[in-house]
Structure 1
Amino acid sequence: MRTTRLFRSFDYGDKPKLLQFTHSKNTKINPKQLDDAMRIMTPFISAERMATFRKILESRCFDVKLLYENPANPSNVYACLRTLDSFGLQHVDITDGMYKEPLGKAGDNTGLMRKKKNKLTAVGSDKWLSVKQWDTTKTPLAEIIRNLKKEGYKVYTTSLEGGTDVREFPFRGGEEKRQKMVICFGNEETGVTDELKGLSDGLFYLPMFGFAESYNLSVATSLTCAYMLEGGVIRPSGVEAEEERRRVMGEWMIRSFPKRGMAEMILEREGIELGTSLHALDDYENSL
C-alpha cells in the first residue's frame, strides 16, 4: 500500500528509521517521534490556531473519502476540495491528474496565472486536506481499489448510465459499526471508466430534469455530500480515529508555518528530518 513519509528521526551513528503514515488503522506509528515533532513546533504556532485545529479535528470525518478518476479541469477539482473541507472530509485520491498543458511560450506566464486562479477557487482549503496523487501507469487502478477494499472501504461510483437513484442509495449511517466508503467521480467529459464501474460495489446517479446531460463536477460532489450528510454517513469520527487525528494534526502544524521549509529547518535542527513534502497538492500541481 502506498505510504506518505512524514518524519525521519535518527540518532547520529544509528541507521535512520523511517516513520511512515498510511490511512490504515493497522499502521504502526511511533507516538514518541510524532509527539517530539509536535512539541518542537508548538511554540511557533499561536494558541488560537492550535485551538482551531483541535476543534476542526473533532468534527472531521475519516470514514469517507473521495476519489476523482482522471479529472480534466483543475478549477473544478479545486472547487471540489473547498466543498469537501466544508463538509468535514479529509481524504481525497486523484488518479492520473489533468491533461497536461504547456505553461506558455517563453516570457509568457499565462499558465502560471491559470494555476494561481485555480488555487484561489479553493481559498486555501486544499492546504488542510490529505490529497494523494496516483499514477496508474505505476499503480494500476485495480490495485488502488483492491487496497482500499482491504482497508474496509466500500467503493461506490457515480454513473450517467445505470445504477440507483442517489435518493434511494444506502447513504444511511447507524450507531452500529460504521461503514467506510469511497465515493468515485469520473472525468468531466467521459465519466468514469468501465474498469472503475466493474471494480465498484455499487453505482448511483444524480437525477436531472433539464436539458443538461450532467452536473458540474463540484456540483455533483456537493449534492452527493449533502445526501451523505443527511443520511448520517458524514459525521465526526469517534475514538477509533484518534491516531489519525494526531497524524493530521502533525501535518497541519507543519503546513501552518508562513514559509515553506521553515518547519523542516526547525525540526532538522532538533534531529528530526522530514521525508517527502507535506504540502497536500505538491505532486498534484506539478502534474498540471
Structure 2
Amino acid sequence: MQQLLAAGGRPPHRDRPFDIAGRELSPTRIIELLTPFMTERRMRRIREVVGERTRTVLPVVEGLVNTGNVSAVMRSAEALGYQDVHVVKGSNEKRYKHSKRTTQGAQHWLDVWRWPDADAFVRAMHDSGYRVVVTALREDAKSIREVDFTRPTALVVGNELEGASDAMLELADEAAIIPLNGFTESFNVSVAASIGLYHAREDRIRRQGHHADLSQEEQEALVARFCLRSVTNAESIIERVLSDLQSS
C-alpha cells in the first residue's frame, strides 16, 4: 500500500468506514463477516500483532539507491511493531519497488508513504506534531541513547553512500548517532535502521512500560484491514454474505 501523505495532519485511517461494493461497513462489521472464514489461530495472531503496533515513531528512509535496503528496513520495522514507513525520494533514487525476497511479505502489513523531497516530508511531519531526527554525523549530533522516543518522532536514515541529503540535515530538528567502538566508522544503512528502531522500541518500553499505543478504534480498523488481506477474495465473500442475509 503506497500513499502520499498530504501536509496538515497525521496519516489518515483511510479505511474507516470501509467501502465494499458501494456499501459503507464499519471495521467491526468487516471482522464479523470474515471471522467464519479464518481459523481461530489466525484471528488470534492478527489481534496479537495489531496490539503491539505504534505510529508514534515513524521509520523513514531517504534517497536509498539499493531497493534491497529499503525492503530490509521495512522487514525490520514490521517485525518490531511499527505500522508506518516513510520513503523520501532522493535526487539519485532509482524507481522504488519492493524486493519480495527481502521483505518476506512485510509490505503487506505496513502503510508505506512516499514523499517527493525532504521539504515536503518535514513540513508535513511538523504539521502532524512529529519531530524529525536524522541519523547523521552533524556537529550537534547526540547519542541515540539521549533521544526520548516516547515523543512523536520520525527517525530518518539516509543514502547508502552520502547519508542524508543537505536539505534533510538542515530541516531536521535533531541529529543522532549510533555509538561505535571499533575501527568501522558506520553500519550498512539497513543495519543502522534496524539498530535504531530496536533501540527506539526498547527506549519506549523503558520509559513508559510499553511500545504499542494504538487506540482501540485504531486497532479495530487495523484488524479489519488485516482480515481483508488474510482471506482470499474477501470482498467477494462479504458481498455474497450480505446478499444472502438480505434475501433471507
TM > 0.5 fold call: yes
Q: Residues 251, 156 of structure 1: CA spacing in aligned structure 2 closer, same or farther, 3 A cutoff?
A: same
Instruction: Kindly state the Cα deviation for residue 229 of structure 1 after the two structures are TM-superposed.
Output: 2.9
1:83 maps onto 2:64 in alignment: no
Gaps in structure 1 of 5+ consecutive residues: 18-31, 102-114, 174-178, 273-288
Instruction: Kindly state the Cα deviation for residue 271 of structure 1 after the two structures are TM-superposed.
Output: 7.2
Q: Residues 195, 270 of structure 1: CA spacing in aligned structure 2 closer, same or farther, 3 A cutoff?
A: farther
The normalised TM-score by structure 1 is: 0.68
Instruction: Kindly state the Cα deviation for residue 172 of structure 1 after the two structures are TM-superposed.
Output: 5.5
Instruction: Kindly state the Cα deviation for residue 219 of structure 1 after the two structures are TM-superposed.
Output: 0.9
Secondary structure of the corresponding residue to residue 55 of structure 2: strand
Aligned to 2:142, which of 151, 165, 184?
165
Residues 1-288 of structure 1: pairs in structure 2 closer than 5 A: 1-2=5-6, 5-6=14-15, 7-9=18-20, 33-96=26-89, 98-100=93-95, 118-134=99-115, 136=116, 140-171=117-148, 173=150, 179-210=151-182, 212-232=184-204, 235-238=210-213, 241-258=215-232, 262-269=233-240
Instruction: Kindly state the Cα deviation for residue 126 of structure 1 after the two structures are TM-superposed.
Output: 2.7
Secondary structure of the corresponding residue to residue 89 of structure 1: coil
Q: Residues 148, 267 of structure 1: CA spacing in aligned structure 2 closer, same or farther, 3 A cutoff?
A: farther
Instruction: Kindly state the Cα deviation for residue 159 of structure 1 after the two structures are TM-superposed.
Output: 1.0
- 2: CA distance, partners of 1:68 / 1:190: 13
Percent identity of paired positions between Structure 1 and Structure 2: 27
Task: Check conservation: 1:67, 1:93, Cα contact below 8 A.
Answer: yes
Instruction: Kindly state the Cα deviation for residue 9 of structure 1 after the two structures are TM-superposed.
Output: 5.0
- 1: CA distance, partners of 2:205 / 2:156: 15
Instruction: Kindly state the Cα deviation for residue 214 of structure 1 after the two structures are TM-superposed.
Output: 2.8
- 1: CA distance, partners of 2:239 / 2:119: 38
Instruction: Kindly state the Cα deviation for residue 5 of structure 1 after the two structures are TM-superposed.
Output: 4.4
Instruction: Kindly state the Cα deviation for residue 268 of structure 1 after the two structures are TM-superposed.
Output: 4.5
Instruction: Kindly state the Cα deviation for residue 51 of structure 1 after the two structures are TM-superposed.
Output: 0.5
Secondary structure of the corresponding residue to residue 84 of structure 2: strand
What is the aligned residue count?
227
Instruction: Kindly state the Cα deviation for residue 49 of structure 1 after the two structures are TM-superposed.
Output: 0.7
Secondary structure of the corresponding residue to residue 216 of structure 2: helix
Q: Residues 167, 183 of structure 1: CA spacing in aligned structure 2 closer, same or farther, 3 A cutoff?
A: closer
Q: Which amino acid aligns with 1:265?
A: S
Give the root-mean-square deviation of aligned CA atoms.
3.0
Q: Which amino acid aligns with 1:158?
A: T
